[in-house]
Amino acid sequence: MGASACLPVCLGLLLISGCDRGRPRAAEPQAPPPIAASLPPVDVAAIAHTCAGCHGTGGRVRDSAFVPLAGLPADRFVATMKDFRSGKRPSTLMGHVAKGFLDRDIEAMGAYFAALPAQDEKGGRR
Ligand code: HEC
């Protein structure tokens, strides 16, 4: 559940920023509505951006050992991410990454990356 993973972090940041200046907090945060009911539409470009730190901007890599995400077939991407999430495919950290996403997030990312132009290892278009 993507939103639920953010919640403790976001609340923590709110508390820290509210307390360390010694000012009273403006307002108590409202109890959030049930997550499933409050999910906004998937902003797939924003999600995909979080992958870029390791996999390269836009899912492209130039000279690393990472498999480029750009141009990866959607069905392979979706199967890989679900296998990371379930632990079927062993990983050092993609299991943790994948646990942050719902099926619909993974499917939206699959379509997004599949539509990005693949590049060769020097960054040129294939
Ligand atoms: C902190 C670095 C990091 C981030 C952030 C990251 N990855 Fe990865 N990714 C890895 C590593 C490392 C591997 C190799 C598997 C492992 O050991 O976890 C990998 C492997 C993969 C693979 C398998 C490629 C293949 O076929 O071998 C896919 C697909 C993938 N990542 C997708 C993503 C997506 C989508 C995101 C963003 C939601 C993301 N990754 C974010 C580090 C990262």
Return d(Cα 81, Cα 86) in angstroms, integer: 9
Cβ proximity of 116 and 59 under 8 Å = yes
Pocket probe mutation, ligand 1, options 85, 94, 113, max atoms within 8 Å of Cβ: 94
Return d(Cα 120, Cα 18) in angstroms, integer: 48
Distance 71 CA to ligand 1 centre (A): 15
* Domain count of the fold of the chain: 1
Nearest-CA residue for ligand 1 atom 29 is 77
For residue 64, being part of any structural domain is answered with yes
User: CA torsion angle for 9, 11, 17, 18 (degrees, to 10)?
Assistant: -170
Tell which residue, 113, 97, 99, has the closest CA to residue 44: 113
Model confidence pLDDT, tens digit, residues 15-54: 444 444 555 566 666 665 555 556 677 889 999 988 988 8
CATH number at residue 101: 1.10.760.10
For residue 19, being part of any structural domain is answered with no
For residue 49, being part of any structural domain is answered with yes
Model confidence pLDDT, tens digit, residues 72-122: 999 999 999 999 999 999 999 999 999 999 999 999 999 999 998 876 555
Binning pLDDT at 50, 70 and 90, where does residue 10 land?
Answer: very low
* Tokens, residue 18: 């509210």
